[in-house]
């Protein structure tokens, strides 16, 4: 009887140990799992489940935030307790879990406080922020109350002198190009202000279009813009493209935004168009690319340009693209990157570009390995 009791106790101990071990492994895996990927201006970043922010790539404007100004070819931990990050041209912005906004680097505007021209390491700017979008000449944040605020150096919006100024309320998404701010309100209305140099967005010509936002469309779910084109995802998942006057043969100046646009694809969840190439995430998790293929940024296995969308990867959860490289976070938590690697932005320790998606693993020590 005593022997039987001993066996039962030993078995219970083994079972409890196994359960604790599994729980610990799941906890560690959750902390180390990548939850967000962001790329831009030859810079890459990920946020892990524990809130740690890791960055690598071009650093000559101190946009990595490590204070060195030296390019980094492997990941480097920059901050803790981070929930969002955005990479602009020369500037990087991050939001901590407490809602504080931190900005660093040297770009074309202040850090958002109207005073600081740049910083080699992260500098706290304001609080109560839930989303940040960094651009080239203009930057934007969404606050906890869904209000949109911007700062710039080209005079978009009310005169700010480098300080943040409020633009609108009830905003759910904002997109930027060099001289324009385009955003979607909670009711699906698309609004914009800025130069709209190529007449792609639909901002009506008037003396105040830099200072006051205009409504330009309805029933829009998501937008992606560059200086010559606007891509809009409608509530039904249809992707439309409107091109500006540089493409006069395709532009209907008399019609509404949709009437002057071309339907591209169905079942679209996300679209990115930083330059003359395009990346789409469809609702089934497949990623499609087309356009100019400089440094293999289409990820289709070649260096040839493509006029037709071509699937390059599947099972995707997030997509982020820059002018020269791209990254995908899959549903299983794996990170895949491709395109230019001139400054080590692919994070594999080399400067060799990749014309196909390459899986990159971020270990506990911060060292990358590729399989």
Other CB atoms closer than 10 Å to residue 349's CB: what's the count? Answer: 15
> In this predicted structure, what is the pLDDT of residue 102?
98
Copy the structure tokens of residue 3. Answer: 């022997």
Average pLDDT for 34-51 = 97
CA distances from 22 to 150, 162, 304 (A): 46, 51, 48
Residue 253 has pLDDT above 70, yes or no: no
With beta carbons less than 8 A apart as the criterion, state whether 163 and 178 touch. no
When pLDDT is averaged across residues 184-191 and rounded to a whole number, the result is: 95
> What three-state secondary structure class fits 259?
coil
Question: How far apart are alpha carbons 30 and 24 in whole angstroms?
Answer: 10
| Residues near 214 by beta carbon (within 8 Å), at least 6 away in sequence | 191, 192, 193, 203, 204
Categorize the per-residue pLDDT at 223 as very low, low, confident or very high, splitting at 50, 70 and 90: very high
Mean pLDDT of the 288-314 span = 96
In the prediction, which pLDDT does 208 show?
A: 60
Q: C-alpha 183: how far from its chain's center?
A: 15
Distances (CA, A) of 39 to 9, 327, 336, 346, 347: 54, 7, 12, 10, 12
Contact between 278 and 231 under an 8 Å Cβ cutoff? The reply is yes
Bridge partners (DSSP) listed for residue 167: none
* Residue from 326, 267, 317 nearest 296 by CA: 326
Rounded Cα distance, 296 and 230, in Å: 23
Q: Quickly list H helices, the chain.
A: 2-32
From the CB of residue 316, how many other CB atoms can be counted at a distance below 10 Å? 21
Euclidean distance between CA atoms 359 and 371, whole angstroms: 6
- A 10 A CB-CB count for 73 gives 18
The full DSSP string for 6-19 is HHHHHHHHHHHHHH
Average pLDDT of the segment spanning 187-199: 87
Of 53, 55, 136, 57, the residue nearest 95 (C-alpha):
53
The pLDDT confidence band at residue 16, using thresholds 50, 70 and 90, is low
Identify the band that residue 2 occupies on the pLDDT scale cut at 50, 70 and 90.
low
CATH number 2.60.40.1250 given to 2-370: no
* 79 in Cβ contact with 53 (< 8 Å): yes
Residues 6+ apart with CB under 8 A from 149: 140, 141, 142, 143, 164, 165, 166, 167
> Is 23 a residue whose pLDDT tops 60?
no
Q: Mean pLDDT in the chain?
A: 87
Going by the DSSP 8-state scheme, the letter that residue 187 receives in this structure is T
Structure tokens at 50: 């524990």
Q: Can you give the pLDDT at residue 154?
A: 76
Dihedral (CA of 186, 190, 193, 195) sign: positive
What is the pTM for the complete model shown? 0.87
State pLDDT tens for residues 316-329.
999 999 999 999 99
Please list, residue by residue across 291-308, b when 16 or more beta carbons sit within 10 angstroms of its beta carbon and e when fewer do. Answer: bebbbbbbbbeeeeebee
Structure confidence at residue 207 as a pLDDT band (50, 70, 90): low
Query: Does the pLDDT value for residue 122 go beyond 80?
Result: yes
Q: How many residues does the chain have?
A: 371
- Torsion 15-17-21-27 (CA) sign: positive
């Amino acid at each position: 009887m005593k022997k039987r009791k001993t066996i039962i106790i030993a078995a219970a101990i083994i079972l409890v140990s196994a359960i604790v071990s599994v729980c610990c492994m799941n906890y560690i895996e959750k902390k180390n799992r990548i939850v967000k990927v962001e790329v831009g201006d030859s810079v890459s970043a990920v946020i892990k489940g524990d809130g740690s922010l890791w960055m690598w790539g071009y650093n000559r404007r101190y946009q990595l935030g490590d204070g060195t100004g030296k390019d980094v070819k492997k990941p480097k931990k920059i901050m803790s307790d981070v929930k969002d990050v955005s990479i602009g041209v020369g500037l990087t912005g991050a939001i901590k879990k407490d809602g504080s906004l931190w900005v660093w680097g040297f770009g074309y505007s202040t850090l958002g406080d109207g005073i600081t021209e740049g910083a080699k390491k992260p500098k706290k700017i304001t609080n109560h922020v839930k989303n940040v979008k960094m651009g080239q000449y203009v930057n934007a944040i969404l606050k906890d109350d869904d209000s949109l605020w911007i700062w710039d150096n080209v005079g978009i919006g009310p005169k700010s002198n480098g300080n943040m100024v409020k633009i609108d309320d009830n905003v759910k998404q904002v997109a930027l190009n060099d001289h324009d701010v385009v955003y979607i309100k909670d009711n699906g209305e698309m609004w914009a202000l800025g130069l709209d140099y190529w007449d792609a967005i639909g901002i009506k010509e008037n003396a105040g279009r830099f200072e006051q936002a205009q409504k330009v469309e309805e029933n829009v779910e998501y937008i992606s813009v560059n200086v010559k084109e606007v891509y809009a995802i409608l509530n039904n998942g249809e992707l439309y493209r409107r091109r500006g006057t540089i493409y006069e043969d395709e532009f209907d100046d008399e019609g509404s935004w949709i009437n002057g646009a071309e339907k591209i694809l169905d079942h679209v969840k996300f679209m990115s168009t930083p330059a003359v190439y395009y990346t789409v995430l469809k609702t089934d998790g497949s990623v499609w690319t087309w356009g100019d293929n400089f440094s293999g940024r289409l990820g289709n296995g070649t260096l040839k340009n493509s006029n037709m969308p071509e699937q390059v990867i599947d099972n995707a959860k997030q997509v982020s693209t820059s002018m020269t490289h791209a990254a995908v976070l899959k549903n299983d938590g794996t990170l895949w990157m491709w395109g230019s690697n001139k400054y080590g932005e692919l994070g594999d320790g080399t400067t060799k570009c990749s014309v196909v998606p390459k899986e990159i693993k971020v270990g506990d020590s911060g060292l990358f390995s590729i399989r």
